[in-house]
Structures are given as structure tokens and as C-alpha cells.
Structure 1
Amino acid sequence: MCVALFLWQAHPLYPFFLLHNRDEYYSRPAQPVAWWDNGEILGGRDGLAGGTWLACSRDGRIAFVTNVREVAKGPPPKSRGDLPVRFLESKMNPTEFAEEILKEAHQYSGFNLILVDLSFKSMIYVTNRPKDGKALVSEVPPGIHMLSNASLDTPWPKAVLLRSNFKKYLEKYGAGELPAEELTDKLMTDTTKADKTMLPGIYSVEFEYSLSSIFVETNTEKGCYGTRSISAVSAKTNGEVTFYEKYLEEERWKEHTVSYMMEWMGTS
């Protein structure tokens, strides 16, 4: 039950800036952010299905996925974590890839997928669970956006809280650099729970209440569940991409940062 906030084409220094929490069962194996085998994809890797929740590539493309909160109706034939990988490995632009995915969207459990191509200033949102008559594929306009386990910019309490707190930091730092580590520490570790009357009512009240904070930590019948990694991904106008990750490994929090220059800027 992840939560993400991102700034898109609305800052003089950062065409893209993302804060992201990945929530999962502690027992599910996962590898921290690293360059994958071919050295072209940078991201974390799910140790069970092999896909990713968030990754980027050397050519200025970024993708991340969240699940849609719903009552499961059986095991899906395809893993949602494959979607970001397939986009980054493809030669398609975000719109082309989105249209391709729509042909098989019914084969996945509910998902929200963000596809970014920085070289063409393109960001596309794809979902197979649209609400209120909205499209399955839409272009994301410039601005601050929030994404949890409902459709893009749905005002779930923790998403609204994250956006409000992030705006305060934008006012503080203005057009200057945004301190990724400080933002993750101050914003993404917030354990404030939502008012129970504001919960979406898909699961039991108590379970949803335990998931209603930005940073999640709870016990379930299947074991411990909660925030496993906290990430900040930024892309600057000069082509520099920085991927900061703080992740839980063997009950200890570790952190690391990977930076590189996008190849479309002429530097590898």
C-alpha cells in the first residue's frame, strides 16, 4: 500500500522530483536499488516476482507502479511489477506503451502506473481501475501530484497530508535545491493516522486505520507489514539523476545514493 508524491515540470531546477514509500510484507524478499544486469535499469527488484515498484534508465525514462486497494478475487495471471520494467526495456514512448498495455490490462489486478520520458517532457498515467468516468490513459499536467492506492490525485488523508507538508518545504527552499534526505526523513516517516471516518471502507476499519499513515508499520495474520523502503528520485535540468533510498534489511535501516547523467544529455 504505497504512497508517492511527485513534482512534474513545475520547478526551475527539477523537471521531476519524487518521494516514494513502498509498503510490503517484511517476509517478501527484495533487493535494494542497484543497476540491473545490463547496466541500463536502476531500481529495486522484487525477489519473488522479479519486477520492480520504481526504476529509471540511463536514457531519461522513469516508471513506478502502485496497486489499487480492492478485495482480491483470486491470483492475477501477471505481475504488476513487470510493467515498469517492460516500459524501460522498450523503445516506446509513454503514450505508445500505455496503449499497448491497455490491450492486456484486464490480466492484472488493479494498478496505477506512471510513465515518464524526460527527454520529451512526457508523463502518462495508466490505470485499469478508472473512477468517475475518467480515462484509462491520461497525460499528467505540470504540478504537484499524489498517488496512493486509488486513482491519481485521489484525496486520501495520507496523500493530502504529504502534499500539504511538501508544499511547506517548497516555500522554504523556493527555486533552490531540495534536500532529498531531509525530505524523506521529515515527510516520509510520518506515522500520523487518519480519522477513521475518512477511510475508504474497502477493508476492515482497523486494518485500514493501520495503513492510513504515510509510514506504515503493523502486524497482520500473515506477519509484519509496512514501509520497506523510502525513496527520493530527482532529475535536474542539467541531466543529473539522483536516486536516494533508505531501506529495511534484516531489521536494520540502511541507506545509499546512486547518481548518473542521462545519456540523452550527451554524457553516460
Structure 2
Amino acid sequence: MCIGAFVWQTNPHYPLILFLNRDEYHNRPTKEAGWWECGEILGGRDEVGGGTWMACSRKGRMAFVTNVLELNSFSKARTRGDLPIRFLESSKSPKEFADEVAKESDQYNGFNLIIADLSCNLMLYVSNRPKEEPPTIEEVSPGVHVLSNGRLDSPWPKAEWLGLNLITLLEEKEMELNKMVHKLMRDTVKADKSKLPHIWSLDWELNLSSVFVQFETPLGLFGTRSTIALTVGFDGEVCFNEEYLENKKWKEKTFKYNINEANITHKQSI
């Protein structure tokens, strides 16, 4: 379970601002953010499935994935964490890649995928849910968006709060991004029970209904174990900051680099 809030093509300083929480069992083997062996991909790594929840590349590509909240899952499904990596490694355009994923989407459990290529100023949303409908491929419009475990911009309580809080903080022009992270992504307020989607048990949904999650389960502690703040400037400078749990302590890493041959421009609203 993850939740991400992002600003796409409407901020005067950054064509992309992203805040993302990764929720997972604390005992699941995970590698914190870093440059992968190829030297082209930056992100964390799930050491069970081998994929990632979010990563970006020197070429100006970014991708993140969230699970869809649903009752039944396919035990032999392909790992959803491969989807961001495949996009970052691909030479296909975002649309070509999205079409490829759509053709094989039934091989995955429910997913929401955001892919963006800053070199062509294009962001797409891809999902294989609802099951009874064809896969979704939509261009993401300029603005503030939130993606959790429903569809993009679904009116789930924590998604609505996060979106509204992000808009409010963006209006405070002096607010520093590192302060925004804590105000936005450490919110532990839970939703009213009547507003939950009622897909899983009430206890699970209530525990998952805050932006920052932490609760005990029979399989161990579950909750937010990574928070990413990503900005991409019009000059191609990328700042990737991750706060992550390691041995029950929060640590922090920051990476800065420039997109190769960056040519980033404002995109007109559609």
C-alpha cells in the first residue's frame, strides 16, 4: 500500500513535484534508495520481488506503482514492482510502453502505474482495474493529483485530505519542501468509518485510512517505511530525497543529478 501526491506542470519552478509514502511490512527485506548497478536508475528495491515502488532515471523518466485494494489476488501473478523498472529501461515512448503493459495486464494483480517522461513532457496513468473493464491508459492533466489504492484522484478520505493539504501548502510560497514532506506525509489522522471503501475488514481499512500508517498485525508491524520527495526543475536538475526506516530508526538520503540533455518546458493545460 502506498500513496503519492504530485504536482504536474503547474508549478512555476518545478514541472514535477512528488511526495510518496511506501507502506509495507517492516520485516520485508528492502534496499533503500540508491543508484542501481547500471548507473542509470535511482530508487529503492524490494528484495523479495526484485522490483521497486518508485524510481527515476538520468534520461528524465520517472515511474511509481501502487496496489489496488481488492479482496482476491492471484498467487502466481507477475510482480508489479517490475513495471516501473521496465519503463525506465525501455526505449519506447510512454504511450507505446502503456500499450504494451495493457496487453499483458491480466498477468498482474490490481495496479495503478504512473509513468512520466520529462524530455517530452508527458505523463500517463495506467491501470488494470476494474477487472470487468478494459485497461485504462490516460494522459495526466496538469495540476495536483493523488494516487492511493483506488483509481487516480479517487475521492477516498486520505487522498482528498492529502490533495487539499498539498494545495494549501503550495500557496505558502515560503514553505520549504522538506517541511512540506513532514506536514503532508506524516499525517496520522484516520478517516470516519462510514467513509471507508468497505472492501477489506473494517479494522484493516481503518488502520490504512491515514496518510502515515503504522499498526501491528499477526505477521508483524505494517506501515509507512519510506517517504520520498522528488523535484525536477526546468533546468533538468533532479533532487531525490528519501527518509526510510532501518533497524527501527529513521534515516535520510538525498541525491541530486541533472537529466541528460534536458529540454524541459511548460506544458499547456489540456
Task: Please give the range of the TM-score, normalised by the shorter of the 2 chains.
Answer: over 0.9
Superposed CA RMSD: 1.5
Letter of the 1:185 counterpart: H
Q: Which residue of 1 aligns with 2:99?
A: 99
Q: Which residue of 1 aligns with 2:210?
A: 213
Residues 138-157 of structure 1 mapped to structure 2, 5 A cutoff: 138-157=138-157
Q: Which residue of 2 aligns with 1:191?
A: 188
2 CA distance for matches of 1:181 and 1:47? 28
SS of corresponding position for 2:52:
coil
Mark the CA change 1:131 to 1:45 in structure 2 (over 3 Å): closer, same or farther. Answer: same
1:171 pairs with 2:171:
yes
Report the alpha carbon displacement of residue 200 of structure 1 after superposing the two structures with TM.
0.2
Report the alpha carbon displacement of residue 256 of structure 1 after superposing the two structures with TM.
1.1
Report the alpha carbon displacement of residue 133 of structure 1 after superposing the two structures with TM.
6.5
Instruction: For structure 2, list consecutive stretches of 5 or more residues without a partner in the other structure.
Output: 264-270
Say whether the 8 Å CA contact 1:94–1:122 is kept in structure 2: yes
Letter of the 1:235 counterpart: V
1 CA distance for matches of 2:134 and 2:10? 24
Report the alpha carbon displacement of residue 76 of structure 1 after superposing the two structures with TM.
3.5
Q: Which residue of 2 aligns with 1:224?
A: 221
SS of corresponding position for 1:19:
strand
TM-score norm. by structure 1 comes to 0.95
Residues 77-88 of structure 1 mapped to structure 2, 5 A cutoff: 77-88=77-88
2 CA distance for matches of 1:123 and 1:216? 28
Report the alpha carbon displacement of residue 265 of structure 1 after superposing the two structures with TM.
2.2
Instruction: For structure 1, list consecutive stretches of 5 or more residues without a partner in the other structure.
Output: none
Per-residue CA deviations over 1:211-258 (Å, capped at 9, x if unaligned) read: 100000001121110001001011011100010100001100001100
SS of corresponding position for 1:263:
coil
Report the alpha carbon displacement of residue 181 of structure 1 after superposing the two structures with TM.
1.4
Mark the CA change 1:195 to 1:132 in structure 2 (over 3 Å): closer, same or farther. Answer: farther
Say whether the 8 Å CA contact 1:62–1:116 is kept in structure 2: yes
Report the alpha carbon displacement of residue 180 of structure 1 after superposing the two structures with TM.
2.4
Letter of the 1:117 counterpart: D
Report the alpha carbon displacement of residue 264 of structure 1 after superposing the two structures with TM.
2.2
Q: Which residue of 2 aligns with 1:117?
A: 117
2 CA distance for matches of 1:47 and 1:237? 34
Letter of the 1:24 counterpart: E
Which of residues 241, 256, 266 in structure 2 aligns to 1:259? 256
2 CA distance for matches of 1:17 and 1:53? 17
Report the alpha carbon displacement of residue 131 of structure 1 after superposing the two structures with TM.
8.4
Identity %: 51
Report the alpha carbon displacement of residue 135 of structure 1 after superposing the two structures with TM.
5.8
TM-score norm. by structure 2 comes to 0.94
Say whether the 8 Å CA contact 1:130–1:151 is kept in structure 2: no
1 CA distance for matches of 2:81 and 2:248? 24
1 CA distance for matches of 2:215 and 2:222? 5
Residues 124-135 of structure 1 mapped to structure 2, 5 A cutoff: 124-130=124-130
Say whether the 8 Å CA contact 1:58–1:262 is kept in structure 2: yes
Per-residue CA deviations over 1:33-78 (Å, capped at 9, x if unaligned) read: 1000010000000011110000000010000000000013331330
Say whether the 8 Å CA contact 1:130–1:136 is kept in structure 2: no
Q: Which residue of 1 aligns with 2:69?
A: 69
Report the alpha carbon displacement of residue 134 of structure 1 after superposing the two structures with TM.
8.2
Q: Which residue of 1 aligns with 2:266?
A: none
Mark the CA change 1:197 to 1:44 in structure 2 (over 3 Å): closer, same or farther. Answer: same
Say whether the 8 Å CA contact 1:243–1:257 is kept in structure 2: yes
1 CA distance for matches of 2:73 and 2:223? 23
Letter of the 1:95 counterpart: K
1 CA distance for matches of 2:216 and 2:65? 24
Q: Which residue of 2 aligns with 1:235?
A: 232
Letter of the 1:146 counterpart: V
1:246 pairs with 2:270:
no
Per-residue CA deviations over 1:86-121 (Å, capped at 9, x if unaligned) read: 000010111110000111100000000000000100
2 CA distance for matches of 1:157 and 1:68? 16
Letter of the 1:115 counterpart: I
